[in-house]
């Protein structure tokens, strides 16, 4: 990460650690603080918060998502759930129903649009291989 | 082999081969050993096995194929003595010293006795099982194993049974006696408990490593948020209120999100249905079965416009049902209705006399009779699209009867229509046309531009002529000049003086080109509708004028260049919203700069594979804070409405300059290759 850093540059800002806190804001003014590791689940957020880039989002570690607060909350919930299971072994069972049960049907369409906007793990679809969770 | 034995010329051999040859082990001897061992291990004792001259005369008694009755009898008689000392045949030990042969013999003996003991209760085991018990050292090589099927005498020959000594005919099912040698007649084989008709066990398949290791991928175990949402939608589809209120804009976005994942299914398609729906677009119907498509018109009876992409499962019966139950339909757009036959199309036209728009792509079963029905039934058709179809001159004649037509798309035909037929089509309906797409009609030449577009248009706003390789730079330039009202003197052909001045303008871009652009850009358009059919000779018809175009797409016509581009922006610059000059490799930097100066309404530009496109041109379009030479002030690009520029293949564009926000530049090489 710090390979192309100038030798005299201060050590403080350019290091990106998984345990950093980043802020995700919603369209209606809610703000959520999450670990960078969780934000990296979304490819879009990862690019926005990439410390090597000079985007305003990266500089301020704040990533706006143009959705309602409850949608952003659910999305981040999914992301942290996913980040939690990222490193587990193949034997361990993924309790996917835990997250599906937490998504109320009232917001599922909006959530779909929000997820559709994000790149990466939120948006891959392999419907044929999805276990029958419902 | 034969050659090697007659002369002594040999090629280089490996140390092992050399050693084996010195020991007298040859291919023949190994084959013989294999044949004999596999049949009855003792059979080949007829030849002295350990006397040191094995294989020197390979053809001596190796008679595997033509094992007639007499030879086998001889072999059997020889084997009588060898039965007493079953371990005598020891060609395996050839490469060992005599001292070591004694313990080895012992070991083999014990092994043989073990096999005997084992063999008693397991008598029913067939040969295949015995094969598996072989130890790896004595096991045959694979090639020899395949040869071993020839151990049996040829089918149809006579053989004496090894047990009851009656003569029998060798058949496919004849099996060897156990213990050998010889073969058993059918009765004895059955009596011994072997099933002669038993099929050989299927060869063991070696498992591929990939088959063995099936580790479920993380992605497979953990569905994405999108697929989770889609599943939830499908689950709650019957309870639409639970899904909350959906706006029209959101519905469109949801339809696209579902299509992107190819996850529109018969179950969740209901999300987009409604009795009051007047418009429906489904971007990917791949998974909608014909029965699901039959329910679509039932649940959306008030549809006015309908668009179904990838509707490959729409078949004749479904489409007939659709044509009956959508009484208000005015515009139909289908992509890929392969299965719909002529009769269904004709029935559809008869039921929809008010049809205004009919656009289909890729439908090989749509024939001339359908076109005839369309032209006779649907009198108010304004939009017709027959893309990627078998369009021919006969169709054009029918289409030219539709006087109300405004938008015509006949692009990418299977074979190009003739130029004369296309000119005739324009004579009939050209003056009324607002959009015309004749891409990939390869027969189009300059003649079509001069006699067709140059004379029989007037209200054209969108022109698509992609991949017409015959049209030239001069002809396109002439066409747009004609539309302005300059370039041609009324009824004469090409004005050579004007052409020459054009050349001058192009050679000296900074001078004349400016004055050239000050010429009038827009003249009142000439109303020519209805005049066409009365005219006798096309050559006498004066060129027409046409207002500025909003969309010009002349991509992949590599003969076109600066001259055409300048004429286009001079004619249409004020109104041009979309310009596609992809593949105009020779177009000059200066004329590209003119685009920025005069086409300020532009929203989308594709300048892919224009070699002279560079950063300065792009900055002149969409850049900001461009320093002006000789002063401290800066300027900015002049295409303020631009939202999309495609520069694929323009390797002089680096994009490293400040750009206006909201502009998307596609295909900058230094950004995409990384």
A78 chain-B contacts, CB cut-off 8 A: 225, 228
H/E element holding A35?
A: strand A31-35
For A124, the closest of B219, B229, B234 (CB atoms) is: B219
Length of chain B equals 674
3-state SS of B608-646 is CCCCCCCHHHHHHHHECCEECCCCCCEECCCCCCCCEEE
Residue B556 CB partners (closer than 8 Å, separation 6+): B466, B467, B582, B583
Residue B450 contacts residue B474 (beta carbons within 8 Å):
no
Residue boundaries of the structural domains of chain A? 21-133
CATH number for domain A21-133, candidates 3.40.50.300, 3.40.50.10800, 3.30.710.10, 3.90.180.10 = 3.30.710.10
Length of chain A equals 134
Low-confidence ranges of chain B (pLDDT < 50): 1-5, 41-90, 93-94, 96-104, 106, 109, 119-134, 143-150, 488-496, 509-512, 514-536, 673-674
Phi-psi region of B546 (alpha: psi -120 to 50; beta: other; left: phi over 0): beta
Rounded-to-integer distance, Cα B159 and Cα B401, Å: 88
Rounded-to-integer distance, Cα A16 and Cα A52, Å: 9
pLDDT value for A124: 65
Q: Answer yes or no: do B225 and A115 touch at CB < 8 A.
A: yes
Arithmetic mean of pLDDT, A82-98: 78
pLDDT value for A35: 92
CA B394 to chain centre: 32
H/E element holding B17?
A: helix B15-22
A90 chain-B contacts, CB cut-off 8 A: 215-216
pLDDT value for B380: 93
Rounded-to-integer distance, Cα A48 and Cα A39, Å: 10
B226 chain-A contacts, CB cut-off 8 A: 112, 115-116, 122-125
Interface test with B, best of A70, A130, A131 (most B CBs within 10 A): A130
What Å distances lie between residue B521 and A128, B525, B546, CA to CA?
Answer: 58, 12, 11
pLDDT value for B192: 77
Helix axis angle for A69-85 and B225-235, nearest 10°, is: 120
For A78, the closest of B225, B253, B260 (CB atoms) is: B225
Q: Strand runs (DSSP E) across B80-209, as ranges?
A: 158-160, 167-169, 175-176, 183-184
The HSE-up count of residue B228 (CA atoms within 13 Å, CB side) is 31
Query: Which of B179, B152, B184, B180 has its CA nearest to residue B167?
Result: B184
Count Cβ atoms below 10 Å from residue B60 Cβ, excluding itself.
13
The HSE-up count of residue B243 (CA atoms within 13 Å, CB side) is 25
Give A43-68 pLDDT, tens digit per residue. 889 888 888 878 888 889 999 999 99
Residue A71 contacts residue A32 (beta carbons within 8 Å):
no
Helix axis angle for A108-117 and B225-235, nearest 10°, is: 160
More confident residue, A119 or B455: B455
Residue B271 CB partners (closer than 8 Å, separation 6+): B233, B237, B240, B243, B246, B251, B254
Locate all alpha helices (DSSP H) within B326-468, ordered by sequence.
342-351, 368-377, 393-399, 419-429, 446-447
DSSP for B151-185, please give it. GSPPTT-EEEBTTT--EEE--TT-EE-SS-SSEE-
How many angstroms separate the first and last alpha carbons of chain A? 41
Helix axis angle for B496-507 and B473-484, nearest 10°, is: 110
Q: Answer yes or no: do B219 and A129 touch at CB < 8 A.
A: yes
Tell me if residue B580 falls in helix, strand or coil: strand
Domains, chain B, in order of start with CATH, read: 157-192 (no CATH), 248-459 (3.80.10.10), 577-671 (no CATH)
pLDDT value for B473: 94
Rounded-to-integer distance, Cα B293 and Cα B297, Å: 8
Rounded-to-integer distance, Cα A74 and Cα A8, Å: 42
């Amino acid at each position: 990460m710090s390979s192309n850093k100038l030798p005299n540059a201060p050590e403080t800002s350019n290091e990106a650690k998984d345990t950093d806190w980043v802020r995700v804001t919603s369209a209606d003014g809610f703000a959520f603080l999450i670990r960078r590791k969780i934000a990296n689940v979304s490819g879009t957020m990862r690019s926005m918060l990439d410390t090597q880039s000079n985007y305003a989002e990266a500089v301020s570690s704040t990533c706006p998502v143009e959705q309602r607060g409850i949608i952003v909350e659910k999305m981040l919930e999914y992301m942290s759930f996913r980040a939690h299971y990222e490193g587990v072994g193949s034997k361990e069972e993924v309790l996917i129903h835990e997250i599906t049960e937490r998504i109320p049907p009232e917001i599922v369409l909006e959530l779909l649009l929000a997820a559709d906007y994000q790149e990466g793990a939120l948006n891959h679809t392999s419907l044929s291989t999805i276990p029958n969770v419902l | 082999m034969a050659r090697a034995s007659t002369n002594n010329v040999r090629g280089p051999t490996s140390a092992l081969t050399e050693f084996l040859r010195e020991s007298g082990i040859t291919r023949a001897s190994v084959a013989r050993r294999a044949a004999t061992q596999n049949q009855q291990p003792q059979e080949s004792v007829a030849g002295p096995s350990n006397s040191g001259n094995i294989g020197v005369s390979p053809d001596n008694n190796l008679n595997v194929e033509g094992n007639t009755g007499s030879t086998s009898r001889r072999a059997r008689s020889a084997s009588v003595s060898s039965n007493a000392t079953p371990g005598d045949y020891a060609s395996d030990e050839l490469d060992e010293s005599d001292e070591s042969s004694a313990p080895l013999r012992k070991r083999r003996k014990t092994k043989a006795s073990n096999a005997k003991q084992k063999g008693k209760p397991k008598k029913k085991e067939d040969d295949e099982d015995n094969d598996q018990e072989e130890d790896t050292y004595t096991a045959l090589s694979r090639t020899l194993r395949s040869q071993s099927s020839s151990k049996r005498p040829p089918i149809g020959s006579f053989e004496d049974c090894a047990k009851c000594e009656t003569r029998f005919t060798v058949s496919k099912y004849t099996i060897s006696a156990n213990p050998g040698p010889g073969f058993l007649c059918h009765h004895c084989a059955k009596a011994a408990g072997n099933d002669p008709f038993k099929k050989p066990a299927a060869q063991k398949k070696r498992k591929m490593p990939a088959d063995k290791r099936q580790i479920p991928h993380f992605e497979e175990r953990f569905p994405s948020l999108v697929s989770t949402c889609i599943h939830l939608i499908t689950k709650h589809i019957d309870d639409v209120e639970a899904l909350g209120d959906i706006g029209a804009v959101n519905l469109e976005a949801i339809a696209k999100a579902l299509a992107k994942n190819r996850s529109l299914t018969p179950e969740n398609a209901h999300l987009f249905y409604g009795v009051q729906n007047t418009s429906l677009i489904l971007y990917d119907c791949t998974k909608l079965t014909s029965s699901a498509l039959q329910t679509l018109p039932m649940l959306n009876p008030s549809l006015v416009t309908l668009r179904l992409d990838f509707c490959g499962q729409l078949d004749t019966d479904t489409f007939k049902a659709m044509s009956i139950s959508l009484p208000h339909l005015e515009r139909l757009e289908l992509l890929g209705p392969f299965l719909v036959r002529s009769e269904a199309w004709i029935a559809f036209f008869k039921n929809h006399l008010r049809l205004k728009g009919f656009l289909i792509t890729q439908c090989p079963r749509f024939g001339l009779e359908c076109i005839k029905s369309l032209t006779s039934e649907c009198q108010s058709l304004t939009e017709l699209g027959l893309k990627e179809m078998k369009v021919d001159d006969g169709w054009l004649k029918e289409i030219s009867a539709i006087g109300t037509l405004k938008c015509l798309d006949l692009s990418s035909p299977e074979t190009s229509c003739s130029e004369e037929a296309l000119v005739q089509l324009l004579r009939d309906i050209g003056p009324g046309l607002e959009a015309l797409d004749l891409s990939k009609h390869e027969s189009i030449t300059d003649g079509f531009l001069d006699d067709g577009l140059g004379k029989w248009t007037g209200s054209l706003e969108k022109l698509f002529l992609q991949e017409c390789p015959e049209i030239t730079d001069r002809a396109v330039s002439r066409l747009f000049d004609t539309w302005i009202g300059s370039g041609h003197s009324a009824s004469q052909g090409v004005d050579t003086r004007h052409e020459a001045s054009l050349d001058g303008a192009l050679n000296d871009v900074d001078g004349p080109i400016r004055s050239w652009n000050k010429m009038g850009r827009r003249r009142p358009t000439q109303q020519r509708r209805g005049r066409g059919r009365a005219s006798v000779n096309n050559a006498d018809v004066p060129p027409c004028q046409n207002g500025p175009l909003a969309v010009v797409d002349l991509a992949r016509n590599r003969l076109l260049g600066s001259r055409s581009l300048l004429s286009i922006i001079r004619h249409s610059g004020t109104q041009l919203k979309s310009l596609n000059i992809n593949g105009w490799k020779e177009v000059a930097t200066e004329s590209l700069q003119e685009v920025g100066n005069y086409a300020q309404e532009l929203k989308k530009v594709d300048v892919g594979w224009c070699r002279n496109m560079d950063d300065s041109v792009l900055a002149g379009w969409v850049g900001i804070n461009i320093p002006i030479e000789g002063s401290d002030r800066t300027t900015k690009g002049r295409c303020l409405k631009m939202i999309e520029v495609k520069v694929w293949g323009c390797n002089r564009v680096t994009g490293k300059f400040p750009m206006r926000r909201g502009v998307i530049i596609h295909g900058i090489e230094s950004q995409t290759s990384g």
